[in-house]
């Protein structure tokens, strides 16, 4: 039977009274977990002036599974967990860690249930207050209940996910595999406080790890003082909004839309400039004389020429930005692809010519109607172009099968 080492990481600051009672309680729970788990306790103390570290040192003398890691100064929750994980997965050789509060707000009796979920193949287990079986203290004031409940709802809405019910929970079990995948992304000032909980979970979710929740009843502390304040709320709000905006800006569809927006501006300018050029007016008149089609007019021809200018812009910026991970670099690849790009975009040019030409033939060639029909044609063309570009021009290259 493989023995898995589990380390309970407990950050502390002035928790002398709580920690002296918590360690014996945890040891009792450890005696009831499956024997394949070797349970340890790691206290990460921010040099508490009340002597919390001294209490832990005394316990460690008679309990070989109790460890103390002292930070020279108070660095916040995120910094404490980062140091704790580095110590746990490093020198202590942990396979799994728990994030756990020192103030008895997390029910130690739930530890075996967390371990059961790990046995079932989950890689990240959350203690949740907001699923059946979980709860928050009934004595909480309305403002704290509001912030907790609607704060989690806000996070779900902004990050567009319903997979997690309790983003801010500090009761967690995390495998080494998750830690290794996420740790390098957790460096930075914004993760030194309570945004650690949200940031770490969000990054683990984006990497596709198996995550589940275990219900628990959150208990308010009876000793010591809560470290939660207004700064936490502000930092959390700013982080959530910032990270979502970064995700949106990084999305290929968003980039495609931005490039298309620039192309639309160029297309619009082209429509109005070309429609005023004598050579374009003369050419459109000649074409109309030949075809006798009302849709063959100066607006349609100018729209088609403006579309070609937009195509050149779109090809350049899509190659440099939207599809930068598939960027064409050599002249031998750029030129053929540009020709292919133009051919693929022919549909958009034809749509511009037909929609703007036919539309203005019916409604008249005023500035308003020219712009209106250009918008309609562009909307149709953008959908067509995105499908064609991502499928043919900047397609993902399949790896060659191994010989």
CA–CA distance, 75 with 193 (Å, rounded to integer): 8
Candidate from 21-25, 56-60, 244-248 with smallest mean pLDDT: 244-248
Can you give the pLDDT at residue 329?
72
User: How many angstroms separate the Cα of 242 from the Cα of each of 124, 158, 189, 236, 246?
Assistant: 24, 10, 14, 10, 6
Pair of tokens at residue 121: 């193949």
Per-residue pLDDT for 300 more than 90? no
> 386: number of CA atoms within 13 Å, CB side?
15
Give percent of the chain with pLDDT exceeding 70.
84
What average pLDDT does range 163-170 have in this prediction? Answer: 88
Q: Is 236 helix (H, G, I), strand (E, B) or coil?
A: helix
Per-residue pLDDT for 189 more than 60? no
CA–CA distance, 299 with 353 (Å, rounded to integer): 8
Choose among 81, 9, 7: nearest CA to 43: 9
User: How many angstroms separate the Cα of 190 from the Cα of each of 79, 154, 196, 326?
Assistant: 10, 19, 8, 32
Residue 195: CB atoms within 10 Å: 25
Can you give the pLDDT at residue 369?
85
Instruction: For the chain, give percent helix, strand, coil, nearest 5.
Output: 60, 10, 30
Per-residue pLDDT for 402 more than 50? no
Per-residue pLDDT for 117 more than 90? yes
User: How many angstroms separate the Cα of 251 from the Cα of each of 242, 244, 389?
Assistant: 14, 11, 16
CA angle (380 as vertex; 378, 383 as ends), nearest 5: 105
CA–CA distance, 38 with 217 (Å, rounded to integer): 26
Per-residue pLDDT for 157 more than 60? yes
Per residue in 199-236, pLDDT tens? 899 899 989 999 999 999 998 765 545 555 556 666 77
Residue 403: CB atoms within 10 Å: 3
Per residue in 127-141, pLDDT tens? 999 999 999 888 777
Band (403; pLDDT cuts 50, 70, 90) = very low
Per-residue pLDDT for 89 more than 80? yes
User: What predicted TM-score, i.e. pTM, was given to this entire model?
Assistant: 0.64
What average pLDDT does range 35-63 have in this prediction? Answer: 94
Helix then strand count (H, E) for the chain reads 14, 7
Tokens 């044609």 found at: 377
Tokens 């728990």 found at: 98
What average pLDDT does range 170-196 have in this prediction? Answer: 84
Torsion of CA 366, 372, 374, 377, to 10 degrees: -140
The mean of the pLDDT values for the chain is: 82
Band (342; pLDDT cuts 50, 70, 90) = confident
Pair of tokens at residue 53: 């570290």
| Between residues 61 and 340, the one the model is more confident about | 61
Band (401; pLDDT cuts 50, 70, 90) = very low
Tell me, rounded to whole angstroms, the distance of Cα 87 from its chain centroid: 27
CA–CA distance, 114 with 124 (Å, rounded to integer): 9
Residue 309: CB atoms within 10 Å: 17
CB-based contacts of 365, cutoff 8 Å, min separation 6: 297, 298, 299
Catalogue the E-assigned strands of 134-217.
172-175, 211-215
User: How many angstroms separate the Cα of 60 from the Cα of each of 42, 48, 54, 148, 254?
Assistant: 10, 17, 10, 36, 55
Structural domains in the chain plus CATH codes: 4-250 (3.90.550.10), 252-393 (no CATH)
Per-residue pLDDT for 56 more than 80? yes
Can you give the pLDDT at residue 191?
66
CB-based contacts of 86, cutoff 8 Å, min separation 6: 183
Band (393; pLDDT cuts 50, 70, 90) = low
CA–CA distance, 136 with 144 (Å, rounded to integer): 10
Can you give the pLDDT at residue 65?
96
């Amino acid at each position: 039977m493989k023995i898995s080492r589990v380390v309970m990481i407990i950050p502390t600051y002035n928790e002398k009274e709580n920690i002296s009672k918590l360690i014996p309680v945890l040891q009792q729970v450890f005696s009831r977990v499956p024997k394949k788990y070797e349970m340890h306790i790691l206290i990460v103390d921010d040099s508490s002036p009340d002597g919390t570290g001294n209490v832990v040192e005394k316990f460690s003398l008679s309990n070989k599974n109790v460890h103390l890691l002292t930070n020279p100064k108070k660095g916040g929750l995120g910094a404490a967990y980062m140091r704790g994980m580095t110590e746990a997965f490093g020198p202590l050789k942990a396979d799994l860690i728990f994030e756990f509060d020192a103030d008895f707000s997390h029910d130690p009796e739930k530890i075996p249930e967390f371990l059961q979920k790990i046995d079932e193949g989950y890689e990240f287990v959350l203690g949740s207050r907001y699923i059946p079986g979980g709860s928050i203290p009934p004595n909480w004031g309305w403002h704290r209940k509001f912030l907790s409940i609607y704060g989690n709802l806000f996070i779900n809405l902004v990050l567009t996910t319903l997979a997690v019910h309790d983003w801010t929970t500090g009761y967690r079990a995390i495998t080494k595999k998750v830690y290794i995948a996420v740790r390098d992304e957790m460096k930075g000032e914004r993760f030194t406080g309570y945004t650690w909980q949200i940031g770490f979970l969000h990054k683990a979710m984006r990497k596709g790890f198996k995550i589940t929740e275990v219900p628990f009843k959150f208990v308010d502390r009876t000793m010591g003082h809560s470290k939660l304040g207004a700064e936490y709320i502000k930092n959390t709000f700013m982080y959530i909004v910032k990270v979502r905006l970064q995700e949106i800006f990084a999305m290929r569809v968003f980039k495609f839309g931005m490039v298309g927006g620039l192309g639309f501006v160029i297309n619009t300018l082209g429509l109005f400039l070309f429609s005023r050029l004598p050579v374009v007016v003369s050419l459109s008149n000649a074409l109309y004389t030949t075809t006798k089609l009302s849709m063959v007019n100066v607006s349609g021809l100018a729209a088609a020429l403006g579309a070609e200018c937009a195509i050149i812009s779109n090809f350049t910026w899509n190659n440099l930005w939207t599809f930068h991970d598939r960027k064409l670099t050599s002249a031998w690849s750029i030129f053929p692809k540009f020709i292919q790009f133009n051919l693929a975009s022919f549909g958009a040019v034809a749509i511009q010519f037909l929609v703007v030409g036919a539309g203005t033939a019916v409604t008249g060639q005023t500035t308003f109607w020219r712009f209106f029909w250009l918008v309609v044609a562009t909307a149709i063309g953008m959908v067509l172009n995105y499908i064609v570009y991502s499928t043919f021009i900047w397609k993902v290259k399949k790896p060659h099968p191994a010989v």
